[in-house]
Structure 1
Amino acid sequence: MTQTESQVYGAVQVLTQSSDTLFLLLGAIMVFLMHSGFAFLEVGTVRKKNQVNALVKILADFGVSTIAYFFIGYWIAYGANFFADAETLAQGNGYELVKFFFLLTFAAAIPAIVSGGIAERARFYPVLIATFFTVGLIYPFFEGIVWNGNYGIQEALQNRFGAGFHDFAGSVVVHSVGGWIALVAVYFLGMRKGRIRAGKHTNFAPSNIPFLALGAWILCVGWFGFNVMSAQALAGISGLVAMNSLMAMVGGILAALVVGKNDPGFIHNGPLAGLVAVCAGSDLMHPLGALVTGIVAGALFVWLFTQLQNKTKIDDVLGVWPLHGVCGAWGGIAAGIFGQTALGGLGSVSFTVQLIGTVMGIIVALVGAFVVYGSLNMLTGLRLSEEDEFIGADLAIHKISSVSEE
């Protein structure tokens, strides 16, 4: 190779590294923006006396998540840490640093998901402690198994069934794990006061539909960074992922519109159900398969949320277990169905393995959550006092209301 050729090659390498770093940084920013979507979705759903708490809780959760993932979680998942000098860390245009930021936004989605389920009656600091352990230990344990091949489980599945567990953008790794953790937290907290009146279930109406809608819109837009930019490099970017995300989102909207009977809360959560479900197989499915995946997810969410709120003692305020836990699990399985070449997919995926991996994620979430939330419930208590719950978390915890008294 001549000197000129070497210079050109070096310049191309620098350009490629810079482009990949910028690409992933934009993805990290888009997913970080989704956290405001989680916040406003919760603000619009909870009663006015708990709106400030919803905003503060999700931002505080992100701060705790960053510390937990920086010092513990990222090391558990990928065997890497940041205890080196800045010059070393900045090599390759700092791509590894931006990769951490991108994956952190995924990890921090876990407590953001949980937040919607436990709203209106959870104590503040015990929840932050739970966030530290879920993001520092539970989530990265399963993340490392799926996305880094830890403990040889993916290799064993590959050898036995001819394919590893496929979860391109986290239907199971992020959403299902978060949703099932939330179910355990909701179980320990119990129902909000006033939900049962005269022996019948009573639902609290959303406090602000425009805020709820704003949160859904922010999440929908950011999700294209969540899915498309999971390629983590420009060379891996795929229009198929974008198209499948779009079709699943639309499928969720239409299903929620019909099954939810024009209810605005269902209609704005429907696209989220579809997007949750398509994450796993968005790089494999045919767009028609993604559409069916979204339709099933949207209908599943509406039906399950209605059953929870009207017929059980599981008081999941935003319906995060059906939306993320169940629709995420459906997404993991759907990748094994619609990813098959016989149904127009790209193949290289096993239905059996997708089922095994999905169940494995649920088990990790349930066991880990029972340990973390069960311990905190015994040691510190998780729930606000009856008086604090009555006046609302805004005044009880933050000493301020979202509504001026003037």
Structure 2
Amino acid sequence: MNTAGFDVFFLTMGAAMVLAMHAGFAFLEVGTVRKKNQVNALVRVITDFGFSTVAYFFVGFAVAYGINFFAPVSELNNLADLSNGYKMVHFFFLLTFAAAIPAIISGGVTERIRFWPNVLATVLLVGIIYPLFEGMIWNGNFGFQAWLESSFGAAFHDFAGSVVVHAMGGFLALGAVVLLGARKGRYSRSGRMMAILPSNIPFLALGSWILCVGWFGFNVMSAGTAEGASGLVAINSLLAMVGGLIAALIAGKNDPGFVHNGALAGLVAICAGSDIVHPIGALTIGAVAGVVFVFGFEFIQIKLKIDDVLGVIPLHGVCGAWGGIAAGIFGTVAMGGAGGVTFVSQLIGTVAGVAIAAAGGFVVYGVVKSTIGIRLSEEDEYMGADLAIHNISATPEQDMANH
């Protein structure tokens, strides 16, 4: 039986589910920012996806996998000796992962970043920086995985991108957020953090729910084929999500922002080992991630005074790194897992991803800042990015009535 067409359909549905997650990123950000920056959040997330598609199509996919699309359709339909245009839908699926990088970063830099410099950074990150590490881990480029396997008994295992996608996105955001500086009024002259309240908790919750649903496409469809799909990945994703939200509920003292992001923290952390850990291990991984997010958010904002608006550094960066390392603990046979992983390889692979992302973020945003600038003027920031950049607010009729 030829299953090629079914695999194409399977992966197309996965790509569509992850594409829908970008609506989740958008509404999570819209609900968290102030009303004067809601339109800008929506426009940046969707245009980042557009520019990511172009960058990944012409450059990034070739950097990671050595495949380009400069060939007749007859050849494109059978790239890598796979029929029914499988490699083209595989590109679509992996693109949605790549485009998650600027969507993650967006939550950290929102409310004060200039529009076109942000687009330039997106193109550089999705076209070059992210695919370099993606290719190292998921395509065996540069001999990194072979070295880990020969030296420590197993390659770095990251089934659905705890490190490749989430830790990369979170730690790329570190450079952007630090180089941008805090929003005006976030910290007093004495250094005390001042409250900037979210504009819409229901939108924030909607964003979280959309992401949670789409995540099952993100994780389960990472198998690549219908035959490879695993119920273990599904139940582990579910339990990690629940573990994260319950732990964040308790640690965050019923705060709705922590609860809804706690679910995402659990999902971030389970990506790497979702195909090998025991469901109880997944629940534990998610619960730890929920607590890590709550205390990590407070530490970064209050102690380090880094104005990471949505908490993407602790949520995606730190929880993603935890997920990479946790796969080397809970994925072992001794912990009830399927095996095939070693703690040392997981640790080295995670550290490598964090280091490349942190360096890449400072380099890319540093170059953009020093050449064309990345921050809105003080006047535009005070006015809000909606009016300053897009000449319209989220409630234009209401604004007209007020005038």
**Which of 308, 312, 336 matches 1:316?**
308
Whether 1:109 aligns to 2:109 is no
Q: What is the CA deviation profile of residues 269-328 of structure 1, one whole-angstrom value per residue up to 9, with x for unaligned ones?
A: 000000000000000000000000000000000011112222332000000000000000
**Which of 331, 336, 348 matches 1:344?**
336
Q: Any residues of structure 2 matched to 1:295-310 within 5 Å, and which?
A: 295-310=287-302
**Which of 68, 77, 95 matches 1:81?**
68
Q: Any residues of structure 2 matched to 1:10-21 within 5 Å, and which?
A: 12-13=1-2, 16-21=3-8
Question: Does the 8 Å contact 1:178/1:365 carry over to 2?
Answer: yes
| 1:230 aligned counterpart, secondary structure | helix
Query: What is the aligned partner in structure 2 of residue 259 from structure 1?
Result: 251
The TM-score, its normalising length taken from structure 2, stands at 0.97
Question: Does the 8 Å contact 1:202/1:310 carry over to 2?
Answer: no
The two structures, once aligned, show a CA RMSD in angstroms of 0.8
Question: Does the 8 Å contact 1:201/1:311 carry over to 2?
Answer: no
Alpha-carbon distance, 1:160 to partner: 1.0
Question: Does the 8 Å contact 1:169/1:279 carry over to 2?
Answer: yes
Whether 1:121 aligns to 2:112 is yes
| 2:308 aligned counterpart, secondary structure | coil
Q: Which moved more, 1:114-123 or 1:91-100?
A: 91-100
Alpha-carbon distance, 1:258 to partner: 0.1
Divergent runs of 4+, >4 A: none
The TM-score, its normalising length taken from structure 1, stands at 0.96
What CA distance in whole angstroms lies between the structure 2 residues aligned with 1:286 and 1:122? 42
Whether 1:233 aligns to 2:220 is no
- Give the residue type in structure 1 aligned to 2:217: G
What CA distance in whole angstroms lies between the structure 1 residues aligned with 2:247 and 2:377? 39
Q: What is the CA deviation profile of residues 198-224 of structure 1, one whole-angstrom value per residue up to 9, with x for unaligned ones?
A: 632112111000100000000000000
Query: What is the aligned partner in structure 1 of residue 166 from structure 2?
Result: 175
Query: What is the aligned partner in structure 1 of residue 215 from structure 2?
Result: 223
Identity of aligned residues (%): 65
Query: What is the aligned partner in structure 1 of residue 146 from structure 2?
Result: 155
Q: What is the CA deviation profile of residues 168-220 of structure 1, one whole-angstrom value per residue up to 9, with x for unaligned ones?
A: 00000000000000011000000000112363211211100010000000000
Q: Any residues of structure 2 matched to 1:379-390 within 5 Å, and which?
A: 379-390=371-382
Query: What is the aligned partner in structure 2 of residue 393 from structure 1?
Result: 385
Q: What is the CA deviation profile of residues 241-290 of structure 1, one whole-angstrom value per residue up to 9, with x for unaligned ones?
A: 00100010000010011000000000000000000000000000000000
Query: What is the aligned partner in structure 2 of residue 54 from structure 1?
Result: 41
- Give the residue type in structure 2 aligned to 1:307: F
Query: What is the aligned partner in structure 2 of residue 373 from structure 1?
Result: 365
What CA distance in whole angstroms lies between the structure 2 residues aligned with 1:369 and 1:219? 24
Q: Any residues of structure 2 matched to 1:262-301 within 5 Å, and which?
A: 262-301=254-293
What CA distance in whole angstroms lies between the structure 1 residues aligned with 2:254 and 2:228? 39
Structure 2 residue runs of 5 or longer lacking an equivalent are none
Alpha-carbon distance, 1:349 to partner: 0.1
Query: What is the aligned partner in structure 1 of residue 25 from structure 2?
Result: 38
What CA distance in whole angstroms lies between the structure 2 residues aligned with 1:321 and 1:110? 12
What CA distance in whole angstroms lies between the structure 1 residues aligned with 2:267 and 2:187? 33
Whether 1:325 aligns to 2:312 is no
What CA distance in whole angstroms lies between the structure 1 residues aligned with 2:121 and 2:286? 31
What CA distance in whole angstroms lies between the structure 1 residues aligned with 2:263 and 2:342? 27
